[in-house]
Amino acid sequence: MAQIFHPFTNALSRASLVLALVLLLAVLVFAFKLYRSPYLTWAGVLLEQPVAFSHQHHVGGLGIDCRYCHASVERSAFAGMPSTKTCMSCHSQVWSDSPALEPVRDSWRSGRALEWVRVHNLPDYAYFDHSIHVKRGVGCVSCHGRVDEMPWTFRAKSLQMGWCLDCHRNPSPALRPQPAVFQMGWKPTGSPEERQVREWFSRHHDALALTNCTVCHR
Amino acid sequence: MNTATERAPSCGLLAEFADHKALVAAARGAYAAGYRRLDAFSPFPVEGLSEAIGFHRDALAPVVLGGGVLGAGVGYAMQYYLSAVHYPLNVGGRPLHSWPAFVPVIYEMTILFAALAAVFGMLLLNGLPRPYHPVFNVPAFARASRDRFFLYIESSDPLFDLQDTRRFLRRQGALDVADVPA
Amino acid sequence: MPPLTIDEWPEGWPTDLSRRDFLKWSGASLALALLSACRQPLEKIIPYGQEPENLVAGKPLSFATALAQGRSACGVLVTSHMGRPTRIDGNPRHPDSLGAADIFTQAEILNLYDPDRSQVVLEAGQPSHWQTFAAAWTRVLSGLRNGEGLRILTGAVISPSLGDQLSRILKRYPGARWHQYEPVASDAPQEGSLLAFGRRLLPRYRLREAEIIVSLDSDFLGSGPGRLAYAREFASRRRPERGQPMSRLYVAEGTPSITGSMADHHLPASQLQIEAMARQIAWACGARCARLPLEEPARRWAAAAAADLKRSRGRGLLAVGEFQPPMVHALAHAVNHALGNAGSTVEYLPPPDFRPESHARSMGTLARDMGAGRVSALVTVDCNPAYAAPADLDFPGLYRRLPFRVHAGHYADETAAISHWHLPLAHPLESWGDLRASDGTVTLCQPLIAPLYEGKSASELLSALFDENPRSGYELLRARWRHRPSFERFWLESLSEGVVAGTRYSPQRVEPRRTLAERLEPVSQAGYELLLRPDPTVLDGRHANNGWLQELPKPQTTLTWDNAALISPLTARTLEVENGDLLELRFRGRLLEAPAWVLANQAERSVTLHLGYGRRAGGKTAAGLGVDAYALRQGAEPWGGSGLELAKRSGRRALAATQGHHSMEGRRHVRAATLAQFKARPDFARQTEPGPAAEESLYPRWEPGEYAWGMTVNLNSCIGCSACVIACQAENNSPVVGKQEVLRGREMHWLRVDRYVEEHPPRMLHQPVPCMHCENAPCELVCPVGATVHSQEGLNEMVYNRCVGTRYCSNNCPYKVRRFNFFQYADLKTESLKMLRNPEVSVRERGVMEKCTYCVQRISAARIAAKKEGRRIRDGEVVTACQAACPAEAIVFGDLRDAQSRLSGQKADPLNYDLLASLGTRPRTSYLARLTNPAPELAS
Amino acid sequence: MNRPWIGPEHTYASVTDKISAIVLTEKAPRAWLWGFGVSLLLLSMLVAATVYLFAAGIGVWGVNVPVSWGFAIINFVWWIGIGHAGTLISAILLLLRQKWRTSINRFAEAMTLFAVVCAALFPVLHLGRPDKFYWLIPYPSTMGVWPQFRSPLIWDFFAISTYGTVSLLFWYVGLIPDLATLRDGARRPWASKVYGFLAMGWRGSARHWHRYETAYLLLAGLATALVVSVHSIVSLDFAASLLPGWHTTIFPPYFVSGAIYSGFAMVLTLAIPLRAYYGLEAFITERHLNNMANVMLATGLIVAYGYLMEHFMSWYGENAYEHAVTINRMRGPYAPAYWALLLFNVIIPQSLWWRRVRASPWALLAVSLSVNLGMWLERFVIVITSLHRDFLVSSWGMYYPTRWDWATFLGSLGLFFTAMFLFIRFLPVISVSETRELLSEPGASRS
């Protein structure tokens, strides 16, 4: 028999071995990135909405408090979505004939509710309670980002379980004094009441309790 | 084939032997004669052949040991970190660091890493894969994987001389000596 | 040798899927599963146009109303999530509930969302409209001169307003007649009091006062109005370790009942024996009455009971079952008066009925008139005579000959099928109304939701039929109570309280007639004895389409989805039949084929057959289950009688029982002792199978967190009524799996009630088994993905969304309380059922394990509330669903770290023991052992 | 001295040609085609059963509560057990310098590989959510949660995957020199290209042989340690639980010996028809069969001792639950399976005491088939009878397999034999280089 393979197959075969290894790694890295990418998490993705509502204008500009529209945030698991009535309480006077607000007026006339696209959406098996987070001193910004700088509202964080755990493992840094909870641009100043909030928490909290499964899953 | 040899510059001589005893003897002879860049080929592992051509100990064993130790380390570190540090959970009232339960995985990881080290270490040290090699140019070499035994002296050897070496190999009792074209 | 293979297909699937669309749909679910890793789908969020008042989005509200089951009403509190009623609990202020709720009342919520409910007007089975019907009706009504030939047939009417409406109608149409027929409410108690006092009265027992209770076939704990209150009162006298003197219960009955299983002395007895014993006891207590021959052991039993009763005058009580003939009731009244029990342990109240009468006679009259052609138009309201009328009346035959037939009901049932018109009735939770409890207390019923379909309430219907300008249920009800002073305040208070103040009846002082039961009916004890009884879970058939109740194991047999001819072991031996073998029952010339079920403690020659099965119409779930016992029913003897012929037939029917083995095999799962034994060795229960001591462990003990949740079940109070099972199912969105799956051992109840039968003494023991929440949980250790782990508060957590379904945890659970979704059991397709679900609990998908969570959603709610107020959770603030429903308060849940908590008290009780303690699992759920108080006479 | 392990007529050339011939002959023999066809049929049944299973759900099997493990786990343990003989022969016998392994180790290893594949199939199929099986792998998920390393199933996962990998490597390393032989012997150019590619340019250099042998020996050592651990860990799936009939310390040794027992039975089941059909009597001599029969007899006795000890312990340990399980096995609804297992696994194999049985290939085949069946029944008895009646009497139940359980089981046989037939057709069933080595030694015949 004569030579079966051409000399360059030596280089080729070794190269291909190395390449296979590299490829494998590449795939793993890609998957890792993909599952944390906006494509899957919707973080930072702008969504089609029935009305061009701007938090930047209402919160940043007019300085309306979160609770004016999201009324049940302190009492219920659900922060609450403003009813058409809430919108109309101002917009029957202000911008009462702007075409942008036609859907709102239409809903008010017909009684048909506005259908917003959910921006912050958790899976059905995850149970999140706004009231307790707010009461404990977790600022709105921590999860929803600087909505006062969002002309068009989008999901600020991935809302993935790993992200929840980051805070649940050690909540103290995220805690604010009550009055600061609903402030957008608040920065920790190291004030005594701040320290007190955190100390109180770490004193009154079983370190492992907050990462128990049934805290969120039932 | 002769035509082939004339065209291509020879990269060594390949001597063919009938059985492994003859090959070992020839190999010893060649080594004694001062040849160093030489190799021997056989259809099955032959006792003392590698020593005959001056190859004594290989570096595989330590590599495998390394693999095993690494596997054990990784196995234990992973389990301890994941179940006691990263997400500590009360499972059946057992301690977070319940090392007895970690043993089986450590054990398996040790073996897995060691085995991988053994195989890939062997291939690496042997310079495989290498589908092309000059000796394959010699048609008779096909029998190296059947029933024939070969001694190969490379032309890069300082003592190498096409005529003398060919004569030398004949003297060692080779059935045939072939020129290995590049 | 077990068969080498069986058919895998789950026939009788909860939502009966054909093979094809099952595959199609499960294929889709597979695709979904594969896509699950991919993008989260976008959802809509839809705010109100205008918020309703006093509603905080996401917070449940609770409303008081009442629900009727035949002749009894139960006051309830209904939980509503964003306008959807999701569960029903008892109303603590209601005398017939005291906060507890039975299986029927709780299961009504499923009836509300039942997709098979009647939704539109039907004309000859074809969809039509109210207007079309109204036109037809006015033509007919105008044709009848002052209502001549018009008949109205209803069930028992215990609603004052509805009663008034009916009497107004009868006044306006003097020719019209109103008949009542309630298939499983017996006339005998009222007839009995007629015999004894010449008045229609019903006895009400005061079990807290009673030391000796003798029950002749009376299932006062298990059926009839007031049972929930009785269960609580009875339990209060079964806690000797708390120092109260313990009461003693004698029960003689034909077929074992819940009450029978609580007896200190249980005696299976035939109808005839029971009457004989009644006479024996009455005679012994000084009543002048004739006696019947009585042989052992009945005589000894009766003598002992009588002696005990006499010994404790005024503190004893003789109770008689509603299916006993009037004479026996009369005898009991005589005894209770003779011993001065009347007024102390028994009091007499008028029945809750608006017009008390004999339903059998009322139905009989109607049938006679129909036969004689005196009826030209029959309006049936919430009653199903074509199915439930006595067979010898041949109601369907007579009915078909009527010129105009209208049926109003919740389902298009057997009667609807042969009526000209069928009108949909609104569900009680959709309508206004009022109901009278057994002690006369009235509850104003308010709707929780606008009618889902075109249904009207009974009163709205009558108004629509007979008023010139029909009024809404709301107006009608307000009109009825308008006369009350300061009406608006009265209205609001009554609605929020759930009871109308000052409507309770006051006990009647009565004297029994001197001469009693001199004459004897000719006695014939030929062949076997047939006992026709309401089914323990579907009653007269009204709940036949309710999956929860169909799949709820019947208290005595653990049968589901079927009824069967219950026979005693002796009968089984003589006929050489086993469970499931077909029997032929011949009674008064009528034939019926039914599968046999052998039942310990069944009276030897008595055969019990439960009504309510063999439905021919009225829902997909109900159709084709069991056999129709009404086929054997006689107008004259509605509860059966002697003279039944029994023969074995070839062939079997697979019966789906949830428990295959009823002996304890010497393993003391349920620990029981007599009062004497207990006094001698108070900790006998713990000594039976001691567990390892706390320090006997290789591992350091986990420090409990802020709370340490635990539970005790008091087997001394538990009557095995299964209210807890339905409560759990409703609270935790447990699916219904269907008969085939139950046959396979795949039922999904998180909480089951185990039954064990003991020979000496002959009795049945109940044991509710939820998850034990073991501190060293074996299930957690073997889960490869950590889908079940322990919380700091000691809960054994089950994370559905992490479970991959190895089912190893179930194998390793010694209590076998884990349940697995072998198929997609939760019905994700039926729209109406989506409204039923408790939004606080995940709906489980195919292929994941699930189990009791100690109602963790309720714990979370309480914890959040407490944290917001900066305090600990108070004792009794967390009430599990099962605990809330339990009429006997047998279940206690609480925090072990709080030494003052009610739970800590229970755990310290000498009777407290752990199940399978020797395994060292350290369960957080434990039991209080059962005690009995046998009579010295019968002890030997 | 002993008769030689290779027929006297053979030379280097003849063994090479004889064995390569099976692979290098142009046309596949008719019998092979038949066998392959039937296997493919069974394999397609497995595919169908799996598709239906994934579509409809695990409920199409007979599993329930309390018996939530059924055929899947029985088959899993059975297949893993069969795998063990291969590793034992090629690794342990190598370390023990048992020359007779040479003729049988190659297809024994192949058998191991395919058996492990079949085994690994079932733990995935039997999951309620098979699409989530990868959660057993410790990878950095977005959920931030990890496998639970105290679970025997995780140990299993690591053991089986390691076992599969190492067996593959071991097998491939053994093949390299023979692939070279085929490369050089093949007439069709594409064949020699393919074999050449797989041989990675092996040329039998003395240095290579040296490292090769070191690697092979070390692998053998590792594989030996592995083979003992794998079935011990599988047995822990049961032993680490607290169920009566499972919770026992004797399981690891008795599972391992049981595995070897069933493995050798399978080797014989394959070897006897193979040597008869391809005329390999000169390589797989009656001495080989005899030795394997002896190993079977020995391990069989250990297994029997295991059964004995189980009963002794349940009596001696006076644990009521353990005792009940033993009684239930002998008298309960599944008693027939139990007695059949004793017949097939203990009684019939005793015939191996007689040389005449060991000497007759077809008698041996019969015995080994009975052992295969017996070992499957053993797993059935262990899994089912312990589960269906455990602690609480109220939760006792029964288990009946469905037609889909059977389809999956028989289908896995199809998968196994399909792979086996392909192997026979395309790779040397006996290690050529080792056979030559055997010939080279004094005492071995040469012309």
pLDDT at residue D443, as a whole number: 54
pLDDT at residue C514, as a whole number: 65
Report pLDDT digits (tens) over D388-409. 999 999 999 999 999 999 999 9
pLDDT at residue C17, as a whole number: 44
Chains interfacing with B (3 or more CB pairs < 8 Å): A, C, D
Given pLDDT bands bounded at 50, 70 and 90, which one contains residue D445?
very low
Say how far apart CA C780 and CA C759 lie, in whole Å: 38
Given pLDDT bands bounded at 50, 70 and 90, which one contains residue D89?
confident
Asked whether the bond before C396 is cis by omega within 30 degrees of 0, the reply is no
- Give the distance from residue A128's alpha carbon to the nearest chain B alpha carbon, in angstroms: 20
Tokens representing residue D229 in the block:
């651990």
Say how far apart CA A41 and CA A35 lie, in whole Å: 8
DSSP 3-state of D339: helix
Mutate which: C802, C804, C812, vs D, most D CBs within 10 A? C804
| Mean pLDDT of all residues in D321-331 | 93
> Cβ contact (<8 Å) for A1 and D145?
no
* pLDDT > 90? residue D185: no
Contact A18/A116 with Cβ under 8 angstroms?
Answer: no
Report pLDDT digits (tens) over D21-63. 888 776 888 889 999 999 999 999 999 999 999 999 999 999 9
Contact D38/C803 with Cβ under 8 angstroms?
Answer: no
Tokens representing residue D412 in the block:
């896995």
pLDDT at residue D444, as a whole number: 46
* Range in A92-106, C13-27, C764-778, D426-440 the model is least confident about: C13-27
Which class for A22: exposed (0-12), middle (13-18), buried (19 or more C-beta within 10 A)? exposed
pLDDT at residue C38, as a whole number: 66
Q: How would DSSP label each residue in C747-798?
A: ---SSEEEEEEETTTTEEEEEEE-----TT-HHHHH-TT--EEE-TTS-EEE
Q: How many CB atoms lie within 10 A of CB A132?
A: 17
Proportion of chain C above pLDDT 70, given as a percent: 94
Say how far apart CA C671 and CA C902 lie, in whole Å: 22
pLDDT at residue B35, as a whole number: 87
Helix (H) or strand (E) holding C66: strand C61-69
Say how far apart CA D230 and CA D235 lie, in whole Å: 9
DSSP 3-state of B25: helix
Closest CA to A132 of C758, C863, C528: C863
DSSP 3-state of C736: coil
| Mean pLDDT of all residues in C289-306 | 89
| Mean pLDDT of all residues in C135-149 | 91
Q: What is the mean pLDDT of chain C?
A: 91
Say how far apart CA A19 and CA A26 lie, in whole Å: 10
Contact C256/C754 with Cβ under 8 angstroms?
Answer: no
Model confidence, pTM: 0.92
- Give the distance from residue A106's alpha carbon to the nearest chain C alpha carbon, in angstroms: 11
Say how far apart CA C220 and CA A30 lie, in whole Å: 70
* pLDDT > 80? residue D5: no
Report pLDDT digits (tens) over D210-249. 999 899 999 999 999 998 999 999 999 999 999 999 998 8
Tokens representing residue C395 in the block:
């109601």
Chain A residues touching residue C49 (CB < 8 angstroms): 83-85, 107-108, 111-113
DSSP 3-state of B79: helix
Say how far apart CA A160 and CA A163 lie, in whole Å: 5
Given pLDDT bands bounded at 50, 70 and 90, which one contains residue B57?
confident
Chain A residue at shortest CA distance from C58: A78
Helices (H), C813-916: 831-836, 856-868, 881-885, 902-908
Report pLDDT digits (tens) over C86-123. 999 999 999 999 999 999 999 999 999 999 999 999 99
> Cβ contact (<8 Å) for A161 and D142?
yes
Contact D29/D424 with Cβ under 8 angstroms?
Answer: no
Say how far apart CA C559 and CA B18 lie, in whole Å: 86
pLDDT at residue D3, as a whole number: 56
Contact C250/C216 with Cβ under 8 angstroms?
Answer: no
Say how far apart CA C431 and CA C434 lie, in whole Å: 10
Say how far apart CA C292 and CA C279 lie, in whole Å: 7
pLDDT at residue B145, as a whole number: 86
Q: Who among C752, C803, C811 is closest to D241 (CB)?
A: C811
Chain D residues touching residue A122 (CB < 8 angstroms): none
* pLDDT > 50? residue C10: no
* pLDDT > 80? residue B1: no
Contact C271/C606 with Cβ under 8 angstroms?
Answer: yes
Given pLDDT bands bounded at 50, 70 and 90, which one contains residue B3?
very low
Q: Which residues pair with A58 in a beta bridge?
A: none
**Which amino acid does the sequence have at C623?**
A
Q: How would DSSP label each residue in D208-241?
A: HHHHHHHHHHHHHHHHHHHHHHHHHHHHHHHHTS
* pLDDT > 50? residue B11: yes
Mutate which: D24, D129, D142, D194, vs A, most A CBs within 10 A? D142
- Give the distance from residue D203's alpha carbon to the nearest chain A alpha carbon, in angstroms: 12
Given pLDDT bands bounded at 50, 70 and 90, which one contains residue D157?
very high
What's the CA angle centered on C779, arms C775 and C785, to 5 degrees?
A: 115
Closest CA to C422 of C430, C432, C411: C411
| Mean pLDDT of all residues in D111-138 | 94
Report pLDDT digits (tens) over A41-96. 888 888 889 999 999 999 999 999 999 999 999 999 999 899 999 999 899 888 88
Contact C46/A113 with Cβ under 8 angstroms?
Answer: yes
Say how far apart CA C312 and CA C248 lie, in whole Å: 11
Compute the CA torsion angle D265, D268, D269, D272 (nearest 10 deg).
-160
> Cβ contact (<8 Å) for A80 and C58?
yes
Contact map slice: B 4-33 vs D, CB within 8 A: 19-20, 27
Closest CA to D325 of D253, D255, D401, D238: D238
Say how far apart CA A9 and CA D284 lie, in whole Å: 39
Compute the CA torsion angle B154, B155, B159, B164 (nearest 10 deg).
100
Closest CA to C674 of C939, C908, C308, C910: C939
Between chain A and chain D, the number of residue pairs with CB atoms below 8 A apart is: 29
| Mean pLDDT of all residues in C666-675 | 91
Q: Who among B88, B129, B130 is closest to A208 (CB)?
A: B88
Chains interfacing with D (3 or more CB pairs < 8 Å): A, B, C
pLDDT at residue D29, as a whole number: 84
Say how far apart CA D317 and CA D27 lie, in whole Å: 63
- Give the distance from residue C873's alpha carbon to the nearest chain B alpha carbon, in angstroms: 23
Report pLDDT digits (tens) over C611-637. 999 999 989 988 889 999 999 999 989
Say how far apart CA C705 and CA C703 lie, in whole Å: 6
Chain C residue at shortest CA distance from B96: C702
Crossing angle, helix C160-172 and helix C473-481, to 10 degrees? 90
Contact C665/D332 with Cβ under 8 angstroms?
Answer: no
Contact B24/B149 with Cβ under 8 angstroms?
Answer: no
| Mean pLDDT of all residues in D165-177 | 92
Give the pairing type, strands B176-181 and B10-17.
antiparallel
Q: Please give the residue that has the higher pLDDT: either C698 or C256.
A: C256
Chain A residues touching residue D184 (CB < 8 angstroms): 1
Say how far apart CA B72 and CA B105 lie, in whole Å: 9
Chain C residues touching residue A38 (CB < 8 angstroms): none
Contacts of residue C173, defined as CB under 8 A and 6 or more positions apart, other chains included, come to C144, C146, C147, C150, C466
Chain B residues touching residue D220 (CB < 8 angstroms): none
| Mean pLDDT of all residues in D304-311 | 91
Chains interfacing with A (3 or more CB pairs < 8 Å): B, C, D
| Mean pLDDT of all residues in A159-181 | 91
* pLDDT > 90? residue D279: no
Say how far apart CA A202 and CA C863 lie, in whole Å: 17
Asked whether the bond before C297 is cis by omega within 30 degrees of 0, the reply is yes
Q: What is the mean pLDDT of chain B?
A: 87
Chain A residues touching residue B137 (CB < 8 angstroms): 2-3
Closest CA to B117 of C443, D215, C215: D215
pLDDT at residue D4, as a whole number: 62
Say how far apart CA C669 and CA A50 lie, in whole Å: 63
Report pLDDT digits (tens) over D64-84. 999 999 999 999 999 999 988
| Mean pLDDT of all residues in C651-668 | 91
Given pLDDT bands bounded at 50, 70 and 90, which one contains residue D1?
very low
Q: Does A96 touch chain B (CB under 8 A)?
A: no
pLDDT at residue D96, as a whole number: 80
* pLDDT > 90? residue C554: yes
Helix (H) or strand (E) holding C531: strand C528-533
Q: Which residues pair with C567 in a beta bridge?
A: C598
pLDDT at residue C23, as a whole number: 52
* pLDDT > 70? residue C523: no
Q: Who among C42, C842, C860 is closest to A118 (CB)?
A: C42
Contacts of residue C781, defined as CB under 8 A and 6 or more positions apart, other chains included, come to B91, B92, B94, C812, D150, D151, D240
* pLDDT > 90? residue D154: yes
Chain C residue at shortest CA distance from D141: C37
Contacts of residue D291, defined as CB under 8 A and 6 or more positions apart, other chains included, come to D100
b/e map B148-169, b = 16+ CB within 10 Å: bbbbbbbbebeebeeeebbebb
Closest CA to B145 of D172, D186, D197, D424: D186
